[in-house]
């Protein structure tokens, strides 16, 4: 399995990381080189067919950004927001095939298209090609600077911290990211003109940048027990490395990476949120959403002015009835894990109302 990268994006990664690819992964790298050339050819035709239409595209309304740390419940919240028939989203097909989705998505999603629903490797949630998906996959494949390069090349997880918030990236890289993101948003709008709900954990680092690009955007921030979030994020990365990694990695470096990113995310949010006007930022706890989804979603709609909640209420009730049997992963933490999380992520506990544990509990 591999990211469906454009040829130029793959060549940039190969120049930086290629010497670290071991011999037993060389075959995968060669396949990706050939495949990336094919994706670029498809992207050429997509651009040629839709260039003039994209120049005329205007967003129906400012986007709704669904933000939060990995494994904090962003996927659940994204799916709930996308139950509203007034909203559009980036589908899994579009995010995994950004080079040609405008040309091929409708055919691929027909009953005879051969693309069935599958289970996500990190949590067994069912997704289909039409399911809401995070756009970071598409941005990375199209050549935007992205921390998801670490999923392919985890040999040095200290590289490119600037790709999270982009404030420390070079002006060329930052403008490339903005151009690719803006174009992808326009492509999504061309495909479906309704108001976009956009979900990606890395966008949690980029609130200031996204506010500059979309001044009236709404940010819905979901938080979760930091102990659960750490364990689940570590599990996520291990699964992603199994799927995508072309180099080795250190477990100690991975755990430090998760801790460091959590600290950075909170620092950047603390700097960005005070500048957002009332109604443009709303925070929700995952545990509260699970315990009382109707009350929590109703409050969210009221405080952000997203429209009549009664309009989407039947769909939300139906969603929870269909998924009543879903069970979350239960992941263990060592005493050392608990001590490290309590020490380094301490501000999260007070800020979001979670109790601290001791290693013995």
Give the pLDDT confidence of 233-276 residue by residue, as tens digits. 999 999 999 999 999 999 999 999 999 999 999 999 999 999 99
* Mean pLDDT to the nearest integer, 278-306: 96
* Domains within the chain, CATH numbers bracketed: 7-352 (3.40.50.300)
DSSP 221-254: EEE--HHHHHHHHHHHHHHHHHHH-SS---HHHH
The pLDDT, as a whole number, for residue 138 is 98
CA 139 to CA 174: how far, in whole Å?
Answer: 13
Output DSSP code: residue 275: G
Total-model pTM: 0.93
CB 154 within 8 A of CB 241: yes
Q: How many C-beta neighbours within 10 Å does residue 114 have?
A: 8
Average pLDDT across the chain, whole number:
93
Under DSSP, is residue 91 helix (H, G, I), strand (E, B) or coil?
strand
Residue 112's pLDDT band (boundaries 50, 70, 90)? very low
pLDDT digits (tens, 9 = 90+) for 57-73: 999 899 999 999 999 99
* Mean pLDDT to the nearest integer, 10-21: 96
CA 83 to CA 88: how far, in whole Å?
Answer: 9
* Mean pLDDT to the nearest integer, 211-238: 97
The pLDDT, as a whole number, for residue 221 is 98
Comparing CA positions, the residue from 141, 149, 256, 135 lying closest to residue 203 is 135
Percent with pLDDT over 70 in the chain: 94
**Model confidence at 110: pLDDT above 90:** no
The pLDDT, as a whole number, for residue 106 is 86
* Mean pLDDT to the nearest integer, 171-197: 97
**Model confidence at 123: pLDDT above 60:** no
The pLDDT, as a whole number, for residue 117 is 64
Under DSSP, is residue 88 helix (H, G, I), strand (E, B) or coil?
strand
* Mean pLDDT to the nearest integer, 113-137: 73
pLDDT digits (tens, 9 = 90+) for 296-340: 999 999 999 999 999 999 999 999 998 877 677 788 899 999 999
Output DSSP code: residue 127: E
pLDDT digits (tens, 9 = 90+) for 138-152: 999 999 999 999 999
Token pair, residue 12, equals 């940039």
CA 20 to CA 30: how far, in whole Å?
Answer: 14
């Amino acid at each position: 399995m591999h990211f469906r990268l454009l040829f130029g994006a793959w060549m940039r990664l190969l120049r930086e990381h290629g010497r670290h690819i071991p011999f037993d992964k060389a075959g995968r790298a060669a396949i990706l080189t050939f495949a990336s050339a094919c994706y670029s050819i498809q992207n050429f035709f997509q651009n040629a067919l839709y260039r003039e239409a994209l120049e005329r595209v205007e967003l129906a309304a400012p986007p709704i950004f669904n933000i939060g740390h990995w494994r904090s419940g962003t996927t659940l919240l994204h799916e709930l927001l996308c139950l509203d028939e007034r909203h559009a989203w980036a589908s899994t097909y579009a995010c995994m095939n950004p080079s040609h989705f405008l040309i091929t998505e409708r055919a691929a999603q027909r009953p005879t298209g051969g693309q069935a629903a599958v289970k996500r490797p990190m949590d067994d949630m069912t997704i289909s090609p039409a399911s809401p998906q995070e756009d970071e996959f598409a941005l990375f494949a199209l050549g935007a600077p992205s921390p998801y390069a670490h999923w392919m090349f985890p040999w040095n997880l200290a590289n490119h911290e600037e790709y999270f918030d982009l404030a420390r990236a070079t002006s060329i890289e930052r403008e490339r990211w903005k151009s690719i993101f803006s174009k992808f948003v326009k492509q999504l709008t061309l495909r479906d003109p309704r108001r976009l709900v956009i979900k990606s954990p890395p966008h949690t680092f980029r609130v200031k940048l996204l506010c500059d690009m979309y001044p009236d955007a709404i940010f819905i921030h979901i938080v979760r027990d930091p102990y659960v979030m750490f364990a689940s994020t570590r599990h996520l990365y291990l699964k992603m490395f199994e799927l995508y990694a072309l180099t080795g990695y250190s477990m100690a470096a991975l755990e430090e990476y998760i801790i460091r990113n959590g600290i950075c995310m909170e620092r950047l949010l603390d700097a960005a949120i005070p500048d957002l006007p009332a109604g443009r930022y709303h925070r929700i706890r995952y545990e509260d959403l699970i315990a009382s989804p109707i009350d929590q979603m109703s409050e969210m709609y009221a405080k952000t002015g997203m429209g009549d909640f009664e309009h989407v209420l039947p769909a939300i009730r139906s969603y929870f009835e269909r998924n009543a049997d879903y069970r979350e992963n239960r992941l263990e933490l060592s005493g050392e894990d608990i001590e490290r999380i309590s020490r380094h992520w301490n501000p999260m506990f007070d800020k979001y109302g979670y109790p601290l544990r001791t290693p013995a509990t």
